[in-house]
């Protein structure tokens, strides 16, 4: 998706007097897949794109076609219109990828080749080392939360004990990242994702995530806390997991102006614990403080989702995006956008204001005082 943005295959296109933002022409994309050796022929390219449609990754811009047609039809990545259904599994995967990228890019990383029982293992670390690092880097508030995060990563097959005998513990037991996130992957792997032979031959593929005794109640590690007060940030440092997605809880991002799929799929329940009125926000002595955030967008957005109306609230924030870096948090209320008072508007109108405004976005938000 990011390569298509860079190659200008994804762009705003006009059809029948209407402009469709961030979309691509199916026939052009099939050509691109073949030219870039992502698919050996058109039939395979069509099957690959259909796989993405089946998994709610792309869709027809008007949802008039449920299948992928190799024709001059407009399709769009759901991350580019805020309709990507973000499940807990995807959130955990993205958190694992983010941690991996951070670990391998620092000097003196705890990830090393180590030996146990005369067998060498790649991308290994000691459980206690990982706990120390998570707390030190602000990825977890305390050791208990860090253990919960490690257990979630293990239950989803992202890390494992080198001999696959232990759960994750704060000890000197040796673990490894089971997925090599930096291995270049081919789209064609998606067509073999249910093959047991493929799983055994490619143990580091992200397309074969497994869950081991997941605990549905343990979601505390998903919450996003900004550790630094950064008011103006350029978005050039965004990684491959960031973009214009949109959905539940504190994971994932941006401008949901076109929402076509079923509500149950793509519009999760509000993150607010209870409804809040404008009168309550503005009443004297109300427990809310106003903050001004300056967010510099990149090629694919600003990294947050607005939902609700009168007032609107921040439903989700991409932890690696510009909005999070500027200090935006889930459950903040949108007071103004580029100097315009918006407490009386719904999220579609506010999203439109943001989409049609300048790349540098100035927002006033109201945040509950804890």
**Which tens digits make up the pLDDT trace of 150-186?**
999 998 889 999 888 889 999 999 999 988 887 777 7
Q: So where are the chain's domains?
A: 1-77, 88-177, 278-368
Nearest of 7, 23, 32, 57 to residue 190 by alpha carbon: 57
User: What is the per-residue pLDDT for 299?
Assistant: 63
- Tell me what the mean pLDDT of segment 261-270 comes to: 47
Element (H, E) at 298: none
The pLDDT score that the predictor gives to residue 179 is 82
> Which tokens sit at 199?
């799983």
Fold type of domain 278-368: Pdz3 Domain (2.30.42)
How far apart (Å, rounded) are the C-alpha atoms in residues 6 and 357? 22
Quote the strand ranges of 262-359, DSSP E: 288-296, 304-308, 312-317, 333-337, 340-341
Query: Higher pLDDT residue, 213 or 11?
Result: 11
Sequence-distant (≥ 6) Cβ neighbours of residue 98 within 8 angstroms: 239, 241, 319, 320
**pLDDT (tens digit per residue) in 303-327:** 899 998 889 999 988 887 889 888 9
**322-353 pLDDT per residue, tens:** 898 889 999 999 999 988 889 988 888 898 88
Residue 94 reports pLDDT greater than 70: yes
pLDDT at residue 204 tops 60 = no
Task: Give how far Cα 169 sits from Cα of 28, 130, 195, 218, 222, Å.
Answer: 50, 10, 32, 16, 19
> Tokens 């995807």 appear where?
90
Within 10 A of 277 (CB to CB), how many other CB atoms are there? 11
Residue 22: pLDDT above 50? yes
Over the stretch 106-132, which tens digit does the pLDDT of each residue have?
888 999 999 888 888 888 999 999 999
More confident call, 44 vs 178: 44
Q: Across residues 225-241, what is the average pLDDT?
A: 31
Question: If you ran DSSP here, which 8-state letter would residue 37 be given?
Answer: T
Q: How many CB atoms lie within 10 A of CB 66?
A: 10
Query: Which DSSP letter does residue 270 get?
Result: P
Tokens of 48: 């690959």
Give the pLDDT of residue 268: 58
What's the whole-number average pLDDT of the chain? Answer: 78
* Residues 110 and 130: beta-carbon distance below 8 Å: yes
CATH topology of 88-177 equal to that of 278-368?
no
Q: Is the predicted pLDDT of residue 290 greater than 60, yes or no?
A: yes
- Window from 43-47, 221-225, 308-312, 316-320 with minimum mean pLDDT: 221-225
Query: Whole-angstrom Cα distance, residue 77 to residue 245?
Result: 9
| 172-181, 214-223, 290-299, 322-331: range with lowest mean pLDDT | 214-223
Integer Cα distance of 277 and 273 in angstroms: 13
Backbone phi, then psi, for 126, in 5-degree steps? -85, 145
Q: What angle do CA 328, 332, 333 make, to 5 degrees?
A: 125
Return d(Cα 24, Cα 306) in angstroms, integer: 25
DSSP E strand boundaries for the chain: 11-15, 18-25, 58-60, 74-77, 112-116, 119-126, 159-161, 174-177, 232-233, 288-296, 304-308, 312-317, 333-337, 340-341, 360-368
pLDDT of residue 365: 94
Question: Could you tell me the fold of the domain covering 88-177?
Answer: Arc Repressor Mutant, subunit A (1.10.10)
Contact 282, 361 (CB under 8 A): no
Out of 62-71, 298-307, 329-338, which region has the weakest mean confidence (pLDDT)? 298-307
What are the two backbone dihedrals, phi and then psi, of residue 301, each rounded to the nearest 5 degrees?
A: 135, -160
Q: With cut-offs at 50, 70 and 90, classify the pLDDT of residue 256.
A: very low
Please state the rounded mean pLDDT for residues 22-37. 94
Give CATH for domain 1-77. 1.10.10.10
Which tokens sit at 86? 């973000």
pLDDT: which is higher, 342 or 265: 342
Tell me the DSSP string of 70-102. Answer: SSS-EEEEGGGTT-----HHHHHHHHHHHHHHH
* pLDDT of 220 strictly over 70: no
Which residue from 203, 219, 240 is spatially nearest to 91, judged by alpha carbons? Answer: 219
């Amino acid at each position: 998706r990011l390569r298509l943005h860079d190659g200008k295959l994804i762009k705003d296109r006009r059809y029948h007097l209407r402009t469709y933002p961030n979309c691509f022409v199916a026939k052009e994309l099939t050509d691109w897949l073949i030219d870039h050796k992502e698919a050996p022929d058109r039939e395979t390219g069509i099957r690959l794109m259909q796989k993405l449609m089946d998994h709610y990754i792309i869709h027809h811009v008007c949802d008039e076609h449920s299948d992928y047609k190799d024709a001059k039809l407009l399709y769009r990545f759901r991350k580019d219109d805020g309709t990507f259904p973000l499940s807990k599994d995807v959130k955990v995967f993205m958190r694992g990828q983010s941690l991996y990228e951070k670990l391998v890019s620092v000097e003196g990383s705890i990830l090393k080749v180590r030996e146990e029982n005369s067998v060498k293992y790649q991308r290994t670390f000691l459980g206690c080392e990982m706990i120390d690092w998570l707390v030190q880097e602000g990825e977890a508030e305390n050791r208990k939360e860090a253990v919960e995060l490690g257990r979630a990563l293990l239950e989803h097959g992202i890390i494992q004990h080198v001999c696959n005998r232990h759960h994750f513990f704060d000890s000197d037991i040796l673990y490894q990242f089971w997925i090599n996130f930096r291995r270049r992957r081919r789209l064609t792997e998606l067509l073999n994702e249910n093959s047991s032979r493929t799983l055994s031959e490619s143990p580091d593929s992200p397309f074969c995530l497994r869950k081991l005794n997941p605990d549905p109640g343990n979601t505390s590690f998903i919450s996003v806390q900004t550790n630094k007060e950064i008011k103006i940030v350029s978005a050039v440092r965004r990684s491959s997991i960031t973009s214009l997605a949109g959905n539940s809880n504190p994971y994932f991002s941006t401008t949901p102006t076109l929402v076509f799929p079923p509500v149950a799929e793509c519009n999760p329940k509000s993150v607010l614990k209870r409804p809040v009125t404008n009168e309550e926000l503005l009443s004297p002595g109300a427990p809310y403080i106003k903050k001004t955030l300056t967010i510099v967008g990149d090629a694919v957005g600003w990294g947050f989702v607005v939902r609700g109306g009168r007032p609107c609230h921040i439903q989700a924030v991409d932890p690696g995006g510009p909005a999070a870096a500027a200090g935006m948090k889930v459950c903040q209320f949108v007071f103004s956008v580029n100097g315009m008072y918006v407490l009386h508007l719904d999220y579609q109108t506010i999203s439109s204001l943001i989409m049609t405004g300048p790349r540098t976005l100035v927002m006033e938000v109201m945040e509950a005082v804890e």
